[in-house]
Amino acid sequence: MKRRGNGLITGLIMELLLRNVKHGKLRTRIIGHMLQITCLYWIDLFNSDTCLVKKVKKSLESSGLVCAVGIATSLINSGNQWDYPNGWAPLQHMIIEGLLRSGSEEARAMAEDIAVRWIRTNYVAYKKTGAMHEKYNVRKCGDFGGGGEYIPQTGFGWSNGVVLALLEEFGWPRDLKIDCQ
């Protein structure tokens, strides 16, 4: 029960902050940080609450964050590294894990679909550039992300680790093409 309370408190704090900060870099940072914190709580929160699982899944599906090759970090296209259209490996992993742990077959299917898209874009970008990247463009398969204060990094451990974890969890279906479709 304690986790549920903490998750609700986190949600309330996020709601209050977002009501008072309408736009700009601070709002983007708040969304990014609160999304990460919330993901840590929700992973174990609702595995026995089928109604809540359905609501969370529906909310994620209708949020606009689930894109062609992964989950966007935000819907704001500011040119900053934590904004649209960038997707980051840890965020993909946390959301996929939460869906998997929910106990719902529908949520598991959604998790696998997101995982397949993410693995595919990582693979195609690797084949094109010879490197794994810290972030990817979630709009287009095989494109790495951009924006921010520095040149996007390559050889990134969390991208490698997340792809390996997803392959360990789901494997790769022999009848599914790995290149962009």
Burial of 87 (0-12, 13-18, 19+ CB in 10 A): buried
Domain ranges for the chain: 50-170
Please, what's the b/e burial string for 10-43 (b: 16 or more CB within 10 A of its CB; e: otherwise)? beeebeeeeeeeeeeeebbebbbebbeebbebbb
Calpha distance 87→137 (Å, rounded):
6
Q: What is the pLDDT along the chain (181 residues), one digit of tens a residue?
A: 333 444 444 455 555 555 555 555 555 555 555 555 555 455 555 556 788 888 888 888 999 999 999 999 999 999 888 899 999 999 999 999 988 988 899 999 999 999 999 999 999 999 999 999 999 999 999 999 998 888 888 887 889 999 999 999 999 988 999 999 7
pTM of the shown model: 0.76
